Amino acid sequence: MGAFPRLRYEVRMMAKLNHPCVLELVGVSIKRLAFAMELLPSGDLASYISDVYKQRIREFVAGEVVHESVLPRKLSFKIAYQLASVISYLHSAGVIHADIKTNNVLLFSTDIRSPINIKLADYGISHEMDVGGVRGDVGRNVFCAPEIIKGLAFDEKIDWFSYAIFLYHLISGTIPFQDETYLATISQVTSGSRPDFKYFNYSMRPQLPNVEGLMEECWRENPDDRPSGKAVIDTMQDLSFMCLRRRMALQSESTAVLYTNCDDQNDTDNKYFVYIWNHDGQVIERDVATGDINGKVIKVADQEEIDQVLCACAFDRTHVVGTSKLIIQT
């Protein structure tokens, strides 16, 4: 496609879009084959993430295990939600962006109080949906879906695969397979390999399990197995999506109740634990941040003395539970 047809195509695409996270088209110059868009002086999100990552890398390596995302938690969630919102909008308008990546997401504001934090740009290789699938130009980089690499027809689900890689970059500050050659990266993606949060000199536990779960759903190999835009938005609008910080695997299926020591005034280390009371008469103490078991498992009562636990609390390192037989045990 020549310069003028490409310009005309992108202008036509942008002119029919109306969403707060779509970069606004201001005007077009036919004489010099250019168009003007709203100015976002903060630049692209990829550069911002890179700058923050460089500032924090020594801190990450020194800590060995990082219990947070690169950007602040609330800002990460808002950026993730706003991009999901605009992708879903594009699909409802019959448009496949086909080049979702952090370089094409422009930073509007880093203030979490701002209603808008990012805007999606670059619609030059976007496509209109077709019931038989689409072929044509797409962004060919680490963000692209396996079906694109394989040269197959594609639909809007390619944008959700790219969104998953976007989430990985947003959370970790790193681009997947960045130390690999392009051909090696293609081989990794088409073979089903996906990045994790373990690196050469540190690992990351971002405390965003729902975002990680959504990421894993969106980068599934089969496009039909990836969620729809509606499913993504519904998931992210659930009140628990942002609140959940970590999932912990339990060693027993007979768990009766969980409780924490968040009100423990004697907690001089400023660490918080979750206690798991099970029907074996044990209280297992696990660190809220890491999920690791701390110290010894506490034997509280013999199994035959345990009834169904309805409530529990930790007070001055004493564990008190109330049972269905109206008995309080410590």
Question: How far apart, in Å, are the Cα atoms of 99 and each of 70, 127, 154, 194, 308?
Answer: 23, 10, 13, 19, 54
Specify which residues 105 forms β-bridges with. 120
Instruction: Write down the residue that tokens 């019959």 correspond to.
Output: 94
Query: At 233, which amino acid appears?
Result: I
Q: What is the CA radius of gyration of the chain?
A: 24
Report angle CA 142, 145, 148 to the nearest 5 degrees: 105
Instruction: Write down the residue that tokens 């696990």 correspond to.
Output: 286
Q: How far apart are CA 7 and CA 63, in angstroms?
A: 49
Say which DSSP state 179 is in: T
Say which DSSP state 40 is in: -
Residue 312's SS3 state is strand
Longest Cα separation, the chain: 87
Residues involved in catalysis: 99
Q: Which two tokens stand for residue 213?
A: 């779960």
Query: SS in 3 state form for 220-241?
Result: CCCHHHCCCHHHHHHHHHCCHH
Q: How far apart are CA 110 and CA 115, in angstroms?
A: 10
Burial class (CB in 10 A: 0-12, 13-18, 19+), 105: buried
